[in-house]
Amino acid sequence: MVVPDVKITALKPLSEQHYKRCPQCDLIFQLPALDKRFVAYCPRCHAKICSGYDWSMIRLTALAIAVLLLMPLALSEPLIRIRLLGTVINASLLQGVWQMAIQGDPFTASMVAFCAIGAPLMLPLSLLYLRLGHWLGMNLRPVLLMLNRLKEWIMLDVYLVGLAVACIKVQEYADINVGPGLYAYIAMMILVQILLIRLNIEQLWERYYPVAQPAVEPRRLQLCCACNYTGLPDHRGRCPRCHITMSRRAPMSLQKTWAALIAAIVFLFPANLMPISILYVNGERMEDTIFSGVISLATSGNMPVAIIVFIASILVPFTKVLALLFLLCTIHLKIDLSLTARMRMLRVLGWIGRWSMLDLFVIALMMSLVNREQLLSFTMGPAAFYFGAAVFLTILAVEWLDSRLLWDAHATRNTEPDSADQSRPAA
Ligand SMILES: [Zn+2]
Ligand SMILES: [Zn+2]
């Protein structure tokens, strides 16, 4: 057990004017004291810097406990019930993942389990750990660092859309009824969204590990890539707040992004060429690739669902790969295009990537719903694993790309260096 080495004082977080470096474009500016109603955005790249919200730990803990109480119901109770070939079949989240693990492949099932169960569970558990750990004097840094990265992996909303798509696919064979678990699931999803909106990690850092900003020339201040602290490294080169080694740019950002992107491109071939779902009707095997699945949805009159699945499973992964390739090329070749447009593109990529998991959620649900042995059964094809791996890798590629490298490439290309602009405090 490590006791925090910084004494927690009654300092009001974000209550004083201080210098802040933008984590997305590296501009240094003066951040005024933030009122509860205000959110600060970077004056150059418009990245959200921090908000003045300050929910007390009591409120956050109460919400976390409510999520934990709802979770067993939401995960194990049936979300929907169908009557298929004279039998009532229940589909719950846990059951879908379990069917995928035993009938399909445990790796794909663990990807679905991580996004739909693991990551949403980690959020309330982390908040309880913060509350209890602070009380017992435990090291809270790893949990605060993890909370920073957790948001994009919580995919409860994507799962709900997956449930709607599965219902539309199943309605050709069966009557559908709402299960009791669905109410608990929707309540849990709303509470998790409120937690994500109200959770102010910058405030939590300042509450548990307040570190004063050194009084030096502003341009000497560095940003910690892990916790977004703006200051100077300690004598061992570490961030005084989170104890991670401080570096000017995210270490090995381009190499890691390229590695994840190339692996994702390789995986996208089998993901699109091999069958992703297999349906057995009276012993006859019918295979569907991602594309043929979309076509059969469209021809069976489910055009809106076909469009959703097409966007999530085909358009988004391919657009993401092409857009990332383009952004990496502009960094390497120092191509000077609108930085605001490229920053916007990177943010959109970060937001849309998680929606590609939709198809895997639909498959997990269909596997637990349509399972009548020889008569009618649905199972996943080999492409599901490659597709899931490609989605995970593209999400990681976007996360690993340090957007400040775009600004660096722009600054080195232009004769008039941007750094002069960076050191000037913004109003
Ligand atoms: Zn910025
Ligand atoms: Zn740090």
Ligand whose nearest atom lies closest to the CA of 20:
1
DSSP-derived 3-state class of residue 419: helix
When mean pLDDT is compared across 173-177, 228-232, 248-252, the lowest value belongs to: 173-177
Cα(34) to centroid of ligand 1, in Å?
Answer: 18
* Per-residue pLDDT, 218: 86
Q: Does residue 417 surpass a pLDDT of 50?
A: no
β-strand partners of 380: 277
Chain centroid to Cα 185, Å, comes to: 19
Cα(384) to centroid of ligand 1, in Å?
Answer: 38
3-state SS of 272-338?
HHCCCEEEEECCEEEEECHHHHHHHHHHCCCHHHHHHHHHHHHHHHHHHHHHHHHHHHHHHCCCCCC
Q: Tell me the pLDDT of the chain averaged across its residues.
A: 87
Cα(145) to centroid of ligand 2, in Å?
Answer: 9
> What is the C-alpha separation between 39 and 35, in angstroms, rounded?
8
Residue 420 pLDDT level (bands cut at 50, 70, 90): very low
Q: pLDDT > 90: what percent of the chain?
A: 52
* Per-residue pLDDT, 54: 77
Residue 418 pLDDT level (bands cut at 50, 70, 90): very low
* Per-residue pLDDT, 61: 94
Of how many residues is the chain composed? 427
* Per-residue pLDDT, 415: 52
Number of alpha helices (DSSP H) and beta strands (DSSP E) in the chain: 17, 13
Residue 16 pLDDT level (bands cut at 50, 70, 90): confident
Cα(235) to centroid of ligand 2, in Å?
Answer: 14
Neighbours of ion ligand 2 (CB under 5 A): 224, 226-227, 229, 239, 241-242
Cα(71) to centroid of ligand 1, in Å?
Answer: 38
